Structure 1
Amino acid sequence: MNSTVRLAVQKSGRLSEGSMKLISSCGIHVSNGKGKLKAMASNFPIEFLFLRDDDIPGYVADGVADLGIVGENVVAEKDKDVKAIKKLGFSRCRLSIAIEKSKPYKGIQDLEGKNIATSYPKILGDYLSKNGVKADIHEISGSVEIAPSIGLAEAVCDIVSSGSTLFTNGLKEVETIYRSEAVMIANHNLDAEKEEIINKLLFRIEALQSAQNNKYILLNAPEQSLDKIISLLPGMRSPTVLPLAEKGWVSVHSVINENDFWEKIEGLREAGAEGILVVPIEKMIL
């Protein structure tokens, strides 16, 4: 296999950090020295392009890059001809409309005829149109939160993570219009060799995601309670049961989904389980 896949990632910022952490966790080694715009992995057929996140969908659509890691909000806003192939579970945020704290707000119709400043005119325009609201959208890049205080707009529409930036600038969220996380996008026209490389990369990512969503659990239990405990811990196929040195006791090993963790733990204790250990999983191959 002589093909190399080109992957575009943000050159700096939180999305960049999350992307490179993911790549590293997949066992792919890359040295991207300060200021470098290209780098080749040493142990996987993949080349990295370090770009502005706004440019990534265009590079992928044009075939300059085969893959890209970017926020779903950027993919939706740029509206390029790319396909989303994997949600990555980091850099979660929301796109929200905010107004001054002192202003009353009864609903989306309050924005009728207002000026709204944003870096996301397409997403905002689609949302307003869907809700039958006509407003004047002012596209600006950066420092959107300052718009109401300088008289540019009565409202803003911007990315929100914690909401602290809005609060600091005297604003309050009134509408969440889009939820986003990092996503891997791909060009539509990839040859078979590149598809094979991408499938290998996705396999590694899925192993990581499966591990993050599950925990390995070990516990000791009396044999008489085993049926009840197994019913609480179905695992991937069935729990592993091993005899202990003490007669009448066994050790049970299984995998538990993190969302079910606390509910299951209470049930296991009530069924007689003791010495419960819960261990994070680094990678999980299904």
Structure 2
Amino acid sequence: MSILKIAVQKNGRLSEKSLQLLNECGIKLSNGERRLKAASPNFPVEILFLRDDDIPQYVEEGVADAGILGENEVWEKSKNITVIKQLGFASCKLSLAIPKEALYTGLEYFNNKKVATSYPRILNNFFTENKLNVAIETISGSVEIAPAIGLADAIFDIVSTGSTLQINGLKEVEVVTKSQAVLISNQNLDAEKQQILDKLLFRIQSVKNAAENKYILLNAPNESIAKISAILPGMKSPTVLPLAEPGWSSIHSVIREDTFWDIIDQLKGLGAEGILVTNVEKMIL
């Protein structure tokens, strides 16, 4: 039986989120120590723990069949792999930052300056598109200290909260692009491995659907059922059950997380009471 080998980052926040996603997909892993790889006893996958910047190459070469990593690494390595799905976690910005005392006048500020980064390909493409002459200093790790030690005039790096920039006397001035975790795959999977990947994608989508929706239960006067049903269509239509009290019903449905508060206000305006909202563990459409 074929085993789908999936590469994930060996440590860090993205690694933890990747393993959490697999766990939510019902995939158990047998190796808690995460030395090099972990097999699943209940799903035909094997997890390889690698450096995130090595994952695109290993997937391209078929050492791993698939991988979970940041889009930024996919762009930077530019390997012949397929991006299967954006996963919605590990979101960050890749930004340009300069010393906080410097006066920023726009992108032309960087013309004829030196910028330090761990992502030279992404940065070079950006400056080329904007027709700027910039010297790129490629370094790995501790990019933020480059201006302070005279190595560069500015930096280009991942920014999450911005606190690291502040500590190093820098300020963010341009967001070049935004990144999130993605699932990638080798371009030449055989039929059996592709079938396993498709099953995994089905589970991931079910988890993603659940995260984006809430289950809602409420009591409402019968004369409001039609209007409430129009607001809460759910996956097909809401479930309506009569209550013991005449003239009232219980309505069950699904509501999107991003419209939650606006819809709650509308429901209250239609006389809804006893509104309960709970998380959805899995959602299969």
TM-score range, shorter chain: over 0.9
Return 5+ residue gaps in structure 1 as ranges. Answer: none
Q: CA deviation at 1:7?
A: 0.4
Partner-residue secondary structure (3-state), 1:283: coil
Q: CA deviation at 1:106?
A: 1.4
1:211 aligns with 2:187: no
Which residue of the partner structure matches residue 59 of structure 1? Answer: 58
Which residue of the partner structure matches residue 69 of structure 1? Answer: 68
Which residue of the partner structure matches residue 96 of structure 1? Answer: 95
Q: CA deviation at 1:35?
A: 5.3
CA distance in 1, matches of 2:175, 2:149: 24
Q: What TM-score does the superposition give when structure 1 sets the normalisation length?
A: 0.98
Which residue of the partner structure matches residue 230 of structure 2? Answer: 231
CA distance in 1, matches of 2:33, 2:233: 48
1:273 aligns with 2:276: no
Structure 1 outlier segments of 4+, above 4 Å: none
Which residue of the partner structure matches residue 146 of structure 1? Answer: 145
Superimposed CA distance per residue, residues 155-194 of structure 1 (whole angstroms, 9 cap, x where no aligned partner): 0000011110001111000111111001000000011111
Which residue of the partner structure matches residue 41 of structure 1? Answer: 40
CA distance in 1, matches of 2:280, 2:68: 24
Partner-residue secondary structure (3-state), 1:150: coil
Task: Kindly indicate whether the alpha-carbon contact (under 8 Å) linking 2:6 and 2:67 is maintained by their aligned counterparts in 1.
Answer: yes
Following superposition of structure 1 onto structure 2, how do residues 1-286 of structure 1 map, counting pairs within 5 Å? 2-34=1-33, 36-286=35-285
CA distance in 1, matches of 2:190, 2:218: 49
CA distance in 2, matches of 1:34, 1:257: 37
Q: What TM-score does the superposition give when structure 2 sets the normalisation length?
A: 0.99
CA distance in 2, matches of 1:219, 1:102: 55
Letter of the 1:206 counterpart: Q
Letter of the 2:255 counterpart: I
The alignment of Structure 1 onto Structure 2 pairs a total of residues equal to: 285
CA distance in 2, matches of 1:38, 1:231: 50
CA distance in 1, matches of 2:64, 2:217: 45
Letter of the 1:74 counterpart: E
Task: Kindly indicate whether the alpha-carbon contact (under 8 Å) linking 2:10 and 2:49 is maintained by their aligned counterparts in 1.
Answer: yes
Superimposed CA distance per residue, residues 113-141 of structure 1 (whole angstroms, 9 cap, x where no aligned partner): 00000000000000011111110000000
Letter of the 1:234 counterpart: P
Q: CA RMSD in A?
A: 0.8
Task: Kindly indicate whether the alpha-carbon contact (under 8 Å) linking 2:116 and 2:152 is maintained by their aligned counterparts in 1.
Answer: yes
Superimposed CA distance per residue, residues 201-225 of structure 1 (whole angstroms, 9 cap, x where no aligned partner): 0111000000000000000000011
Superimposed CA distance per residue, residues 220-254 of structure 1 (whole angstroms, 9 cap, x where no aligned partner): 00001111111111111111000000010000000
CA distance in 2, matches of 1:233, 1:192: 41
Task: Kindly indicate whether the alpha-carbon contact (under 8 Å) linking 2:87 and 2:182 is maintained by their aligned counterparts in 1.
Answer: yes
Return 5+ residue gaps in structure 2 as ranges. Answer: none
CA distance in 2, matches of 1:188, 1:28: 24
Task: Kindly indicate whether the alpha-carbon contact (under 8 Å) linking 2:34 and 2:49 is maintained by their aligned counterparts in 1.
Answer: no
CA distance in 2, matches of 1:206, 1:39: 23
Partner-residue secondary structure (3-state), 1:261: helix
Identity %: 59
